[in-house]
Amino acid sequence: MAGRECYHCKQWVEKGEPHDCWTTTETALTAELSEDLRDAWARLRETAAEFGDQRIYASHNSIMFSRKACYFFVRPKKSFLEVCVFLGRAVKHPRIRRVEPSSKAKFVHIIPVRHRDEVEAPITDWLQEAYDFADPDRVSPTPRATPPSGRSATRAAPARSRPRRRRA
């Protein structure tokens, strides 16, 4: 039999058979969740949908929430929902497991959610802040001007008091 194993999903694909393991749905990603996690997922989705115009879609093993760019996404796991929120600042809080820079202007905050009751302030406040931060009409701060030489002002070349000697 001619075919191949998909390196993403490890499924055997016959030659000529269409295969797209990247296409998935919210239902498929949340089908195996416990009742508590499904309730938490429903509350997260409802909360985010109330913010306003956005796109909610499944991609590989995550459910994305985006305006012009993704402002948060959820990775359903067996025992919790991994909520990843993009904010313009790093927040230190006991509910946040990890914070990492994701670009020059954003930090990703990884928050585990295990129950519907956890989807309340401050998590909902951070989701709203991320939604507002991702506003496509938001004016971004102007970049700092660099000196004409291309060097930043803080990294100027050291002054030399005498010329260098040539080695023979």
Rounded to 5, what percent of the chain is helix, strand, coil?
Answer: 20, 25, 55
Strands (E), 35-128: 55-59, 62-66, 70-76, 81-87, 98-101, 107-113
The per-residue pLDDT for range 130-167, each reduced to its tens digit, is: 999 988 777 655 444 555 555 544 555 555 556 666 66
- pLDDT tens per residue, range 133-142: 988 777 655 4
Confidence of residue 4 (pLDDT cuts 50, 70, 90): confident
Q: At 154, phi and psi to the nearest 5?
A: -80, -10
Sign of CA dihedral 58, 49, 81, 67: positive
Three-state secondary-structure class, residue 67: coil
Over residues 41-90, the pLDDT tens digits come to: 999 999 999 999 999 998 888 999 999 889 999 999 999 999 999 999 99
Mean pLDDT taken over the chain = 84
**C-alpha span between 66 and 29 (Å, rounded):** 18
Interior angle at CA 150, CA 144 and CA 153, nearest 5: 60
Per-residue pLDDT, 161? 58
Supply the pLDDT for residue 158: 54
pLDDT of residue 15: 82
**88-111: average pLDDT:** 95
Q: Locate the DSSP E strands across 88-150.
A: 98-101, 107-113
